[in-house]
Amino acid sequence: MRGLYLFPYVAPVIAVAFSWLILFDPFSGSANALLVQMGMTDSAINFFGERPLALIMVTVFEIWRYFPLSFLFILARMQSIDSDMYEAADMDGASPFQKFWYLSLPQLLGILSVLFLLRFIWTFNKFDDIFLLTGGNAGTRTLTVDVYEQAFAISNIGAGAAVAVIIFSCLLFFSFFFLKYVSREEGL
Amino acid sequence: MRLFRQGYVTAPVLGALWFVVISTTVAIVMSFATGAAFRPSVGLSLLWGVLAGVAVIHGRMIARGFGMMVGAIGYLGYGPMVSGEVGLLPAILGHGAVAGFGVLGLMVILDGVGRAALTRHVFEEAVIRFLTGFGYIFFTAIVLIPFYVMVMTSLKNQSELLQNPLDFSIDLSKGFGLLRSYQELFQDFNFGTYLVNSFAISVITVFVTLLFSVPGAYAVARLRFRGRAAFSRSILLIYMVPMIVLALPIYIAFSMTGLRNSILGIVLIYPVTTIPVALYMLQGYFRGLPSEVEEAGLMDGLSRLAVIWKITLPLALPALASVSLYVFMIAWNEFLLAFMLLDDPSKFTLTRGISSLNSSEIPRQHLMAGAVIATVPIMALFLGLERFMTKGLTAGSVKG
């Protein structure tokens, strides 16, 4: 059953992005119908079309799509923690929360920081998801969407390439940190 | 904290929270299943949850009796979940589910919780059981709902969808008429061709990727040469470069050489995105293999290539399987390059085909049917070979 929780990550981005668009459609989306029925809102909400909300929804989508990956990495690390330590803690009478806080969490710090850096870099560079969900409208135009908009929508290839160069220099900057930390953590 | 660790405080607090969770969940499930008006009442849920918590710590019999009472009261309209004009069967089912899951779940959560002061262990275990239950419900719901909406929308028609967006019940009497969107996609929109294109492109990409990344990964993992460390790091760096940065030069170069709008061009460019991933995953695995076996092979007079072919590759089969699967998944799901480079409908991949359905003239059950067609093969492959996949994903694959 664990495979089920990886579905958002494995499914094609275009399929899940369009499902989200239809689920949160302002006119006939199920999410709006549900919210109205539960009395949370009176009128339909335009989830992907209003200014602060669109950015929040795109972020929620990214979280939804990539939580399985972090889930898997953390799980793999958890399973590799030595069980002797927990037995010793049981003998000393540690409570479940104490075991989590003083034993599991310190062991997970390494993978958590790697995941943080990696997901930060990858999400910073994400294009497909945002392009499909909002097309960069309603305050969600990121650098990557801007490359596309400049180069193809208004056919200014030069400006598009300039934005791409900016993305690349940001990436170089981030990967400096990444290589510095990950080399230590993963022994690369 | 000590105040919380009294049976009379812990049980009602957890009970109230649990009832809110259950009544919300059941209301959403029933709404999505029947389209009827179910909604949770937070105030009443809190009230009944508090009482249920007290009932559960007074013994199993009292708790069961209380559960039946909640079900009956729910049917009368004052339970944790309120239903509007719904049929008899959905109402009984819904209120029964709220009462049943609410009370039985609470009995499991509060296992060992008595009326007096609790030890720290009993208290924390009860909280952890509550959080586990909540986590299961929450994550299952957020994962399943979009896929459920995707599949169910593809089986309906436009007027049904506009009439009640919540009604996902299926009219089974229509038989094969349910699959009309799929039939139209395959007949009128060439989805059969797209499916074949996607499949062929993905398989070729897997082979090309393995052809280059196996020797490359072996070299980085085993051979000593000048600049090995720099090479190893640059793989990681290339691996992090987003496709959109490369998309412009690729577009210009392909336009000039005439590779744009051809399957050959796509097959040439997909391995560019997958080889760094495969190299990175494979070199990690090759490093973990014992080098003594290979050295023994070299001593016995095998050449380096024969060692790779006869010793390293058989040992690395599980890794090769997971890398292939992962590369297949990337190629199958790739959207940006297909979107930019392909214009001719006879050469579309599935993802490109779906994006061409996204217009106001094409009804959205077609769009969702297309999404289902693209999702089902990769899901089936993934569930069938899950063991390799999860291993491959944690073996250093972080792309996406």
Q: Give me the pLDDT at residue B398, please.
A: 46
Closest partner residue to B358 (CB to CB) among A18, A76, A171 is A18
- What CATH superfamily classification does B183-394 receive? MetI-like (1.10.3720.10)
- What is the mean pLDDT of the segment spanning A114-129? 86
Q: Can you give the pLDDT at residue B212?
A: 92
SS3 call for A120: helix
Q: How far apart are CA A33 and CA A52, in angstroms?
A: 21
Among the partner-chain residues B32, B374, B379, the one whose CB lies closest to the CB of A7 is B379
- Better-predicted residue by pLDDT, B351 or B79: B351
Distance CA B151, CA B369 (A): 7
Beta bridge partners of B326: none
Contact A11 B147 (CB under 8 A): yes
Q: Which residue has the tokens 């999702």?
A: B375
Say what the ipTM of the complex is. 0.88
Query: What whole-number distance in Å separates Cα of residue A143 and Cα of residue B206?
Result: 31
- Distance to chain A for B68, nearest Cα, Å: 25
Mean pLDDT of B303-319: 85
What does the domain layout of chain B look like in residue ranges? 7-163, 183-394
| Residue numbers in A near B168 (CB within 8 A) | 30
What's the pLDDT at B393? 60
A contacts of B390 (beta carbons < 8 Å)? 2-3, 6, 72
CB A13 within 8 A of CB A65: yes
> For residues B244 and B133, what is the distance between their CA atoms, to the nearest angstrom?
41
Tell me the C-alpha distance between B240 and A172, whole Å: 10
Q: State the pLDDT at residue B205.
A: 93
Percent of chain A with pLDDT strictly greater than 70: 96
CA of B292, closest CA in chain A: separation in Å? 21
- Note the pLDDT of residue B295: 86
For B216, other C-beta atoms within 10 Å of its C-beta total: 18
Tell me the average pLDDT across B375-395: 76
Chain A within 8 Å of B325 (Cβ-Cβ)?
no
pLDDT tens readout for residues B230-261:
887 788 778 788 888 888 888 888 888 888 88
How many residues can be counted in chain A?
A: 188
pLDDT digits (tens, 9 = 90+) for B80-133: 887 777 777 878 888 888 888 888 888 888 887 777 777 888 888 888 999 999
Q: In this predicted structure, what is the pLDDT of residue A60?
A: 93
Under an 8 A CB cutoff, do B375 and A12 touch?
yes
Q: What is the pLDDT of residue A34?
A: 82
Cα–Cα distances in angstroms (integers) from residue A39 to residues A26, B40, B100, B199, B223, in the given order: 16, 10, 25, 46, 66
Give the rounded percent of residues in chain B with a pLDDT score beyond 90. Answer: 10
Most confident of A69-78, A156-165, B6-15: A156-165
How many alpha carbons lie under 13 Å from residue A23 in its C-beta half-sphere?
21
Q: Which of B152, B170, B225, B201 is nearest to B372 (CA)?
A: B152
pLDDT on residue B171:
67
Q: Which of B64, B66, B50 is nearest to B18 (CA)?
A: B50
Instruction: Name the residue with tokens 């744009």.
Output: B260
pLDDT at B386: 74
Q: Contacts by B219-225 with C-beta closer than 8 Å and gap 24+?
A: B220/B279, B220/B283, B221/B282, B221/B283, B221/B286, B221/B287, B222/B286, B222/B291, B222/B294
Query: Is residue B400 predicted with pLDDT exceeding 70?
Result: no
CB atoms within 10 A of CB A125: 21
**Considering CB atoms only, which of B153, B165, B379 is closest to A10?**
B379
Contact A12 B335 (CB under 8 A): yes
Average pLDDT on A129-148 reads 87
Determine contact, residues B52/B65, Cβ cutoff 8 Å.
Answer: no
**Domains of chain A and CATH, by start:** 2-186 (1.10.3720.10)
